[in-house]
């Protein structure tokens, strides 16, 4: 069988079977039989399971279970199943209990008794643990690409608006001027940490459980190092069969990465929803990511970002569900773990969808730079800089802080900004300094002063945007090379 991708599979319909009925005389209650099925969820593992069956049958041939001719027949059967499902889809509504039962039945249907030998020395416990790692390894590439897409959109905003002022906030109160680009790159920093966490989590789970059996290891004389290599597990085989079949911390770690990523997206969404409000009017979302009201004709609602913000809660819930599932389980495998896939798989899909929608929303957000610049001059955002001017004149900062606080109160009484205080008020309130406050406290000057590493000075932001563009381009080149 040609090595195939192990990502999501299409679906279709067919018939079922059981892998464990030897000890049982009676059948399952029909309601429980349906309750305990997992095919509607784990069918996505179908191609990973076929590839695993291919490699396991090769390992069994090395252990003397199959002759070369028998192995060729088994491979032909696996190839035929794969080609059928690639053309018609995996039969998700099949009566089979799970994807492993379905795969085994279809192989047996094509090569008879030989197909029944494939499960020699193997359990569904190490089988599903291996399938899931293989599927995740392939599937998480899409999440990584989607994080990259949001970062790319935000870096583009930062490049365009490296020098454009806007108000910065703490406690949702206007605090100090920043640039639009500086704000965009703040979100890039957070999301790129999520990307690093995702890559680290993927690397940590890159061990092969196959050959661990149900819990104690297999009696089949298979080469586990060779199995791991053929299934492309870079870190080789797992080193403890109990842990290999019971461990789901890698799923919890991936769920955490998804939850943290969506939490960061929710924060970005909240910022942009506020920026698009009539009260702020810093940006406007384009038609591609906005909707209207069924009643109020004037409305332009930021639905894309609101949905991202709302869906983040579901992904956070998946993390809590997984932690709750594993917290009370004894070693090793327990059937509770069947539910891990129905929790994690939708969370991964939701995370990727939120990332892709967020990237679209950022791309279709247009900042009103003139309005942002005007607002960066309002609200006494330059008060700290006035205190710094007093410090330069020899005033202790704590005293300067108090002096400027009184100046702010007086400016509010007069309905002016600090830089617009009348000359007589300046002389009374700020006798220690004699500078042109309109120039010294302008938003542009305030921004330029913050030229330390990590500061919001326009030249810093422009340099950081260039650095991020180079970094993202390097990752894109590396990804293109891998595909080739």
The catalytic site residues sit at: 171, 293
The number of beta carbons lying within 10 Å of the beta carbon of residue 480 is 9
| Torsion sign (Cα): 289, 291, 297, 300 | negative
The answer to whether 222 touches 211, Cβ cutoff 8 Å, is yes
Give the rounded distance of the alpha carbon of 234 from its chain centre.
23
Bridge partners of 170?
173
Distance between CA atoms of residues 423 and 433, nearest Å: 12
**DSSP codes, 192-252:** HHHHHHHHHHHHHT--B-TT-TTTT---S---HHHHHHHTT-TT-B-S-HHHHHH--HHHH
**Run of H or E including 275:** helix 249-275
Q: How far, CA to CA in Å, does 412 sit from each of 264, 404, 409, 417, 437?
A: 36, 12, 5, 8, 17
Which residues have CB under 8 Å from 192's CB, separation 6+?
147, 151
The answer to whether 305 touches 272, Cβ cutoff 8 Å, is yes
C-alpha neighbours within 13 Å on the C-beta side of residue 382: 27
Cis peptide before 332 (omega within 30 of 0): yes
- Pairing state between β 173-179 and 365-367: unpaired
């Amino acid at each position: 069988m040609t090595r195939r991708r192990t990502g999501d599979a299409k679906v279709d319909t067919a018939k079922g079977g059981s892998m464990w009925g030897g000890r049982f005389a009676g059948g399952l209650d029909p309601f429980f039989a349906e309750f305990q099925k997992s095919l509607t969820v784990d069918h996505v593992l179908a191609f990973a399971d076929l590839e695993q069956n291919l490699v396991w049958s090769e390992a069994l041939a090395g252990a003397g279970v199959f002759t070369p001719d028998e192995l060729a027949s088994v491979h032909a059967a696996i190839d035929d199943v794969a080609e059928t499902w690639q053309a018609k889809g995996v039969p998700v509504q099949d009566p089979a209990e799970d994807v492993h039962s379905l795969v085994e039945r279809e192989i047996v249907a094509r090569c008879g008794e030989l197909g029944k030998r494939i499960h020699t020395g193997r359990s569904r416990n190490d089988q599903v643990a291996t399938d899931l790692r293989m599927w995740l390894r392939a599937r998480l590439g899409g999440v990584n690409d989607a994080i990259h897409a949001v970062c790319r959109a935000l870096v583009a905003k930062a490049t365009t608006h490296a020098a454009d002022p806007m108000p910065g906030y703490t406690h949702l109160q206007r605090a100090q001027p920043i640039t639009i680009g500086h704000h965009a790159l703040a979100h890039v920093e957070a999301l790129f940490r999520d990307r690093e966490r995702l890559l680290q989590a993927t690397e940590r789970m890159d061990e092969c459980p196959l050959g661990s059996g149900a819990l104690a290891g297999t009696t089949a004389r298979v080469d586990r190092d060779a199995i791991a290599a053929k299934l492309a597990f870079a870190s080789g085989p797992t080193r403890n069969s109990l842990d290999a079949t019971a461990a789901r911390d890698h799923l919890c770690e991936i769920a955490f990465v998804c939850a943290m990523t969506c939490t960061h997206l929710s924060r970005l969404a909240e910022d942009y929803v506020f920026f698009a409000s009539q009260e702020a009017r810093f940006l406007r979302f384009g038609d591609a990511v906005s909707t209207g009201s069924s009643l109020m004709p004037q409305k332009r609602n930021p639905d894309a970002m609101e949905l991202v913000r709302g869906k983040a809660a579901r992904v956070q819930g998946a993390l809590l569900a997984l932690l709750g599932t594993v917290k009370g389980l004894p070693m090793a495998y327990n059937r509770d773990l069947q539910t891990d896939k129905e929790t994690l798989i939708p969370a991964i899909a939701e995370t990727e969808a939120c990332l892709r929608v967020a990237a679209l929303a950022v791309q279709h957000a247009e900042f009103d730079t003139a309005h942002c610049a005007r607002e960066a001059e309002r609200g006494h955002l330059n008060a700290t800089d006035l205190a710094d001017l007093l410090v330069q004149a020899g005033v202790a900062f704590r005293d300067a802080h108090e002096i400027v606080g009184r100046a702010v109160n007086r400016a509010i009484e007069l309905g002016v900004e600090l830089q617009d205080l009348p000359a007589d008020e300046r002389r009374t309130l700020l006798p220690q300094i004699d500078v042109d406050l309109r120039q010294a406290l302008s938003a542009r000057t305030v921004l330029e002063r913050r030229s330390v590493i990590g500061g919001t000075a326009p030249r810093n932001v422009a340099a950081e945007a260039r650095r991020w563009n180079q970094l993202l381009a390097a990752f894109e080149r590396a990804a293109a090379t891998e595909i080739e």
